[in-house]
Amino acid sequence: MVPRSAGAEPPPAWYLRDWDSGALYKRGRLLGEGTFGRCYQVTEVTSGRLYAAKLIPRARLATAAIGDRVERERELQRHLRHRHIVRLHGHFTDRGHLCLLLELCSRGSLADILRARGRLTEPEVRYYLRQLLSGLRYLHGHGLVHRDLKLSNFLVTERMRVKIGDLGLARRAAPPGRRWGALCGTPAYLAPEVLERRGHAVPSDVWALGCAVYTALTGHAPFEARHRPELYRRIRGARYPLPPQLSPRARALIAHMLDPEPAARPSLAGVLGHPFLTQGFTPQALPPRACHSVPIFVGQEPLRRILRGLRCWRGCGCVPVTPGGGRAPPQST
Ligand code: 9ZP
């Protein structure tokens, strides 16, 4: 007999029905495998609205750990409303699947973009980081820590805005003196205090965000090792290489966010006010082609003013250049 792995689960039906509201959803393409089930693009048949649906086989929900996580994600996200946090639009069960209807971010995750690009430029990282900080300040302001910040949880919308997703591990920040002890999250981004079971508080989110900034700028994670014990030794000692291609301000920010002592790390307001964010050029918008290739910015005055007439119609500070060297015509989206 062939053992049934997660991948061998039968696909959900072509149509999914929310029997409470009567809404019918057509299943579209597979977006990827989430932690507990497959994710599909779905269309609400009457309105034509698109969503990202997380379909979790009910058999898996019976496992206490998964059931709890899904329940928590549902409960947390129901009350959260912010332009940089992925919205949960609703949930229902149909033929053995729990379906979480989430906001569709049609350009995939920053991890997908990084895979296509190798690494991102500093202006782009400033652009995304500002939005992520805004979403994270909202979460922290609601007394929540995310606990699994990483590039694959940062989702990019059609209009190139970034949103924080996957709140399955998010929890209420523990009161001072009492911190959560469980070891969870992505191993490479675990903060030293989390490894030492001193709990995950706001500074541990700042650490993970620092790891994400480093990864976006260099194309690889700050802490890498073939085996877990070595990885954890490096994290505990905060031993990582700072490649010379990084600007002094980027290095300074990373070093501050990756301070082994949680209390020494900057607050989110501190990150926002860091010279890396306040002094470099930050585009107002990014062109969709930045998902695949390096955007060209004309960020320096007075050249910027001179070339204003040449600027991209999106107002993103990029100069649309066609392969032939001429200006690209405006595209419609
Ligand atoms: N990715 C390939 C390049 C590898 C995609 O094609 C792709 C396309 C997407 O939209 C068309 C997409 C993700 C990947 N969209 C999307 N994914 C989400 C998501 C929203 N939008 N989320 C909302 N909350 N959590 C996330 C999560 C689960 C639905 N994801 C992705 C995580 C892995 C697969 C889907």
| Domain boundary, last residue among 102, 136, 170 | 102
Please say whether the beta carbons of 149 and 164 come within 8 A.
yes
Q: Which amino acid is at 13?
A: A
Q: Specify the 3-state DSSP secondary structure of 182.
A: coil
Strand partners, 262: none
DSSP state of 73: H
pLDDT at 320: 52
pLDDT digits (tens, 9 = 90+) for 65-106: 777 777 777 777 778 899 999 998 988 988 888 899 999 999
Task: For ligand 1, atom 11, name the residue with the nearest CA.
Answer: 106
Count of domains forming the chain: 2
Distance (Å) of CA 271 to CA 40, 130, 262, 277: 35, 9, 14, 8
pLDDT at 272: 98
CB of 67 sitting under 6 A from ligand 1: no
Q: Average pLDDT for residues 12-28, to the nearest whole number? A: 91
Please say whether the beta carbons of 139 and 80 come within 8 A.
yes
Half-sphere exposure of 323 (CA within 13 A, CB side): 1
pLDDT(49) > 50: yes
Residues 60 and 28 in one domain: yes
The share of the chain scoring above pLDDT 90, in percent, equals: 62
pLDDT at 296: 86
**Which has the higher per-residue pLDDT, 146 or 36?**
146
Residues 72 and 204 in one domain: no
Residue 41 maps to a domain: yes
In CATH, what number is assigned to the domain containing residue 198? Answer: 1.10.510.10
pLDDT digits (tens, 9 = 90+) for 176-191: 444 445 566 788 999 9
Residues 140 and 196 in one domain: yes
pLDDT at 185: 72
| Domain boundary, last residue among 51, 70, 102 | 102
Residues 249 and 141 in one domain: yes
pLDDT at 306: 55
pLDDT(302) > 60: no
278 burial (CB, 10 Å; 0-12 / 13-18 / 19+) is exposed
| Residue 155, token pair as written in the block | 């989702």
Residues 226 and 204 in one domain: yes
pLDDT at 315: 59
Place of tokens 């959803």: 25
Q: What is the band of 324 on the pLDDT scale with cuts at 50, 70, 90?
A: very low
Q: Kindly state the helix (H) or strand (E) to which residue 303 belongs, with its residue range.
A: helix 303-306
Place of tokens 């030293």: 192
pLDDT at 239: 93
Q: Which amino acid is at 175?
A: P
Residues 127 and 243 in one domain: yes
148 is catalytic: yes
Best mutation site among 25, 27, 31 for ligand 1, i.e. most ligand atoms within 8 A of its Cβ?
31
Q: What is the band of 50 on the pLDDT scale with cuts at 50, 70, 90?
A: very high
CB of 86 sitting under 6 A from ligand 1: yes
CA angle 207, 212, 217 (to 5 degrees): 125
Residue 8 maps to a domain: no
pLDDT at 186: 81
Cα–Cα distance between 165 and 111 in angstroms, integer? 13
pLDDT at 327: 46
DSSP state of 85: B
Catalytic residue from among 18, 148, 166, 205: 148
pLDDT(5) > 50: no
Q: What is the band of 308 on the pLDDT scale with cuts at 50, 70, 90?
A: low
Strand partners, 155: 109, 163
Cα–Cα distance between 210 and 222 in angstroms, integer? 9
DSSP readout, 94-139? ETTEEEEEEE--TT-BHHHHHHHHSS--HHHHHHHHHHHHHHHHHH
The share of the chain scoring above pLDDT 70, in percent, equals: 80
Average predicted confidence (pLDDT) for the chain:
85
pLDDT digits (tens, 9 = 90+) for 240-291: 999 999 999 999 999 999 999 999 999 999 999 999 999 989 999 999 999 9
Residues 120 and 59 in one domain: no
Distance (Å) of CA 302 to CA 70, 81, 124, 262, 305: 52, 40, 21, 42, 5
Strands in the chain per DSSP E: 15-17, 24-33, 38-44, 50-57, 88-94, 97-103, 144-145, 154-156, 162-164, 171-172
Q: How many residues does the chain have?
A: 333
Best mutation site among 87, 105, 149, 169 for ligand 1, i.e. most ligand atoms within 8 A of its Cβ?
105
What is the domain extent for residue 83? 15-102
